[in-house]
Amino acid sequence: MNQLEIDTLEILDRITDGFFSVDTNWNFTYINSKASQLLFRNREDLFGKNIWSEFPEAVDLPFYEQYTKAVTEQVSVQFDSFFPPLDTWFDVRAYPSANGLSVYFLDVTIKKKAVSEQQQHYKSLFEQNPDAVFSFDLQGNYLSVNSAMEQLLGYTEAEFLQISYLPLVEEAELQRTRNHYELAAAGYTQHYETKALHKDGRVIHVSVTNIPIIVDKEVVGVYGIAKDITDHKATEQQLIKSEKLSAIGQLSASIAHEIRNPLTALKGFLQIMRSSAPSKEICYYEIMADEIARIEQITGELLMVAKPQVHHFHYENLKEIFHDVNTLLSSQALMNKVNIKVHSEEIPLVYCVGHQLKQVLINLIKNAIESMPSGGNIHVFIDKTNNDEVIIIIQDQGCGIPEDLLDNIGIPFYTTKQKGTGLGMMTSFKIIESHAGSMEITSKEGEGTVVKILLPVHFVE
């Protein structure tokens, strides 16, 4: 062994990397002290021995595959691999030569564990996040979703990974959502609200944040975080509506009071004039009297809307209340060729103001009758729920209400009727609200309208 070889071996023995070499038969020809330390083997015992015989566990691990590749293809290889017998991760670099293979390796277990812990932290943040979290490629195709995303829109992870976000956005919001996504894909974080489509067809209002995924200063995808704000939106709309109704109520009261005094005078003078009018003019006075009566009715409704009424609640039989309503409206239904079909189960007494609920039911049934000028059926379902509530469903086969007009139902002076004022529906909403209940209207133009009322059985503060 010449001096150069001796110097080289001394250097290899002092380096901080583990190093060993094997010949073309995979027998150890050299092992430095660091390799002996990392492998927990005496290097004198390994010298001249076959690497696969001494470490048979490595045959089924990347070590065998990578070393064989290096020797067979005469290319250097670099890889990380875990070696279970030593419970250790190694970073390995292997270089082939005509005489065999030279291998440098390091114990990177601590580094690997740190990286693994960090990855688990990110994975936990992703999977356990109560908000929907997901990622896209630059074309908007889903790459990953968490369980909250599955719950939000009803699709499984496998289903998400087959599609992009485009089919899941309501059509009216699609272009605006696409613009935000493209800005995120260009590197600009986006915060916005949009409407997503649930698998069952429901529209979900969501608040979305899109964050660019940047690797080596290049955007390679987009992260998304979405929060369901449907209830928040409904509350917000209800608050706006309540504020509008309060303002309109105050204005209505002022107008009603101002109208009633001159109206009383006009009514009195009209009666005097009518008593002495020629017979051929009587019809004109009758028309004026009818119109004054209509004005009185409207002012009465305005005052009812504007001024809270004091009423006494009692436990009432809802089926009996509806029987009275049915009796009252049966003649109008008959004239309009409308059949009112009642489907009623055994229900408990309801704590309510009976005549107020009667007023609501009369208004809703009359609306249903008037929506079917060619006749048809009105189905009324009365039942109880599992939550100490009674449910009333009134379903007609009328002309329906356009979707864009539904949100305005219940606003004073907004009506789809030629001679309506909109006060009847507003009063109905206020009555149901005063009973701690809820009223929901769904409709499809040309197919009919469904009104669903939920009322608590017992007193609710």
Q: Chain-wide mean pLDDT for the chain?
A: 84
Least confident piece of the model among 172-181, 217-226, 232-241: 232-241
pLDDT beyond 90 at 274: no
Gyration radius from the chain CA atoms: 41
Separation of alpha carbons 33 and 14, rounded Å: 8
Q: pLDDT digit string (tens) for 68-88?
A: 999 999 999 999 999 999 999
Q: pLDDT digit string (tens) for 320-329?
A: 888 888 888 8
| pTM for this model (two decimals) | 0.44
Q: pLDDT digit string (tens) for 9-34?
A: 666 667 778 999 999 999 999 999 89
What is the mean predicted confidence (pLDDT) over 437-445? 87
**CA trace torsion 378, 384, 387, 389 (10° rounding):** 70
- CB atoms closer than 10 angstroms to residue 251: 13
Q: How confident is the model at residue 303 (pLDDT cuts 50, 70, 90)?
A: low
Greater pLDDT, 242 or 275? 275
**Eight-class DSSP state of 228:** E
- CB atoms closer than 10 angstroms to residue 279: 6
Burial class of 440 by CB neighbour count within 10 A (0 to 12, 13 to 18, 19+):
exposed
Give the pLDDT score at 67.
95
Give the pLDDT score at 236.
76
Greater pLDDT, 426 or 239? 426
- Nearest 5°: the CA angle 267, 273, 277 is 140
**Residues 438/416, Cβ–Cβ less than 8 Å:** no
Domains of the chain: 3-112 (3.30.450.20), 129-228 (3.30.450.20), 233-306 (1.10.287), 314-456 (3.30.565.10)
What is the mean predicted confidence (pLDDT) over 104-130? 77
By DSSP bridging, strand 18-23 and strand 142-145 are: unpaired
Q: How confident is the model at residue 277 (pLDDT cuts 50, 70, 90)?
A: confident
Give the pLDDT score at 25.
94
Q: Residues 6 or more apart from 142 whose CB is under 8 A from it?
A: 134, 135, 136, 160, 161, 163, 164, 165
- Nearest 5°: the CA angle 90, 92, 98 is 150
What percentage of residues in the chain have a pLDDT greater than 90? 40
Q: How confident is the model at residue 253 (pLDDT cuts 50, 70, 90)?
A: low
